[in-house]
């Protein structure tokens, strides 16, 4: 496990929140991202570094974080992937 | 658009699980219910003891003058007395109080605790799915179905006792007119059709809800195995 990795298995909730904020706000700083996502700064840093490594987002020289096309594509994939399973559920009427 | 669809589906799932939570609370409330019914028995026996002592000390002739303390709740075969009727009223009161208590407590169940998480949108839906403990969910569904079935059965018995109390008055008057003895079992038999007529809708609803719980269990079992075995790759 590399030190940049958030966990052995990243929390999809945190990943989804980060991508969602970046989708809506465009280019933002780490601190603002931490505030907007509600994720602790240290934890967010690990996720940002890992996502940067995976090519899901890009950090420029000024420290601004921006979502990449791959990041956006991954988010859509995640939504479709979950919908593929949840969408098939049929709930009884109580 | 797909994000909204996920949120809508997860909301449906959480609402169904809330319903399970509510029914599971029934299992705990069954203890309260039994306690209330038991209290009505204690009250009945205490009252009988009180009147028996009064009778023994020669104060006044009471209806509660049977030598056997259980005579109030165990009418002799084919026979019926005013004492047994008082017992029925006490039990009916206990059952009604128990049903009210359970209904009141059920309405106060803490539901929709997931709402604020789901308000976060798609990310919130992902969080809720991740945090679900499926083994507990399946256990809860099984317990709920059992508790709900038991509660439905107790309600029907309750309706039956109440029907007997209500029908007891016209039945006694009719028997007085034709000078025949009171028959407890005949009254119980005559009350039965009324119970089914008045609780038909309730019975159908309860049956539907138990089958719904069963269907939910199968749906979620499928979902759990598919979702867990699938691997999300970026």
Residue B220 has pLDDT above 90, yes or no: no
Biggest alpha carbon–alpha carbon distance for chain B: 91
Do the chains contact at A92 and B212, CB–CB below 8 Å?
yes
B216 vs A89: CA distance, rounded Å:
9
Of B9, B126, B211, the CB nearest to A89: B9
CA–CA min distance A80, chain B (Å): 7
A92 vs B19: CA distance, rounded Å:
11
Q: What is the ipTM of this complex?
A: 0.80
pLDDT, tens digit, 9 for 90 and up, residues B41-77: 899 888 878 877 777 776 555 554 444 444 444 444 4
Within 8 A of B206 by CB-CB distance, chain A residues are: none
Do the chains contact at A86 and B129, CB–CB below 8 Å?
yes
pLDDT, tens digit, 9 for 90 and up, residues B161-203: 888 888 888 888 888 888 777 777 888 888 889 888 888 888 8
Q: What is the pLDDT of residue A2?
A: 46
Of A20, A76, A89, the CB nearest to B13: A89
B67 vs B52: CA distance, rounded Å:
8
Chain A residue with minimum CA distance to B224: A85
Do the chains contact at A83 and B6, CB–CB below 8 Å?
yes
* Most A-contacting residue of B1, B3, B7 (CB-CB within 10 A), to test interface: B3
Do the chains contact at A89 and B122, CB–CB below 8 Å?
no
Q: What is the pLDDT of residue B225?
A: 79
Of A58-67, B51-60, B150-159, the least confident: B51-60
A48 vs B233: CA distance, rounded Å:
18
Question: H helices of chain A, where?
Answer: 12-25, 30-37, 41-54, 69-86
The full DSSP string for B149-186 is HHHHHHHHHHHHHHHHHHHHHHHHHHHHHHT----HHH
Are residues B92 and B161 in contact, defined by beta-carbon separation less than 8 angstroms?
A: yes
Within 8 A of A89 by CB-CB distance, chain B residues are: 9, 12-13, 219-220, 223
DSSP conformational letter for B70: G
Q: SS3 for A58?
A: strand
State the average pLDDT for chain B.
80
pLDDT, tens digit, 9 for 90 and up, residues A6-36: 555 778 889 999 999 999 898 999 999 999 9
Of B2, B125, B216, the CB nearest to A92: B216
DSSP-assigned beta bridge partners for residue A28: A65
Do the chains contact at A82 and B5, CB–CB below 8 Å?
no
Q: Is the four-CA dihedral B118, B138, A94, B109 of positive or negative sign?
A: negative
B51 vs A9: CA distance, rounded Å:
73
């Amino acid at each position: 496990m590399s030190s940049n990795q958030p966990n052995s298995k990243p929390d999809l909730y945190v990943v989804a929140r980060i991508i969602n904020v970046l989708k809506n706000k465009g280019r933002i700083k780490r601190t603002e991202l931490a505030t907007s996502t509600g994720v602790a700064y240290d934890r967010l840093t690990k996720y940002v570094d890992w996502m940067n490594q995976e090519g899901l987002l890009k950090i420029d020289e000024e420290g601004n974080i921006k979502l990449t096309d791959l990041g956006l594509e991954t988010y859509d994939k995640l939504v479709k992937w979950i919908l593929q399973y949840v969408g098939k559920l049929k709930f009884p009427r109580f | 658009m797909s994000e909204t669809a996920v949120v809508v589906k997860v909301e449906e799932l959480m609402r169904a699980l809330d319903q399970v939570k509510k029914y599971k609370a029934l299992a705990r409330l069954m203890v309260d219910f039994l306690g209330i019914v038991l209290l009505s028995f204690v009250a009945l026996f205490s009252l009988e003891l009180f009147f028996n002592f009064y009778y023994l000390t020669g104060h006044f002739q009471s209806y509660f003058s049977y030598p056997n303390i259980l005579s109030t709740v165990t009418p002799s075969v084919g026979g019926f007395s005013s004492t047994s009727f008082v017992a029925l009223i006490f039990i009916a009161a206990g059952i009604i109080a128990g049903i009210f208590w359970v209904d009141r407590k059920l309405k106060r169940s803490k539901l929709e605790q997931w709402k604020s998480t789901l308000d976060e949108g798609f990310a919130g839906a992902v969080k809720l799915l991740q945090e679900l403990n499926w083994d507990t969910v399946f256990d809860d569904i099984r317990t709920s179905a059992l508790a709900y079935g038991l509660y439905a059965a107790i309600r029907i018995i309750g309706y039956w006792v109440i029907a007997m109390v209500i029908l007891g008055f016209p039945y006694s008057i009719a028997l007085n007119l034709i000078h025949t003895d009171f028959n407890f079992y005949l009254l119980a038999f005559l009350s039965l059709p009324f119970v089914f007529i008045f609780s038909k809708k309730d019975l159908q609803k309860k049956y539907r809800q138990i089958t719904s719980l069963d269907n939910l269990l199968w749906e979620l079992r499928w979902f759990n195995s598919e979702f867990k075995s699938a691997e999300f790759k970026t």
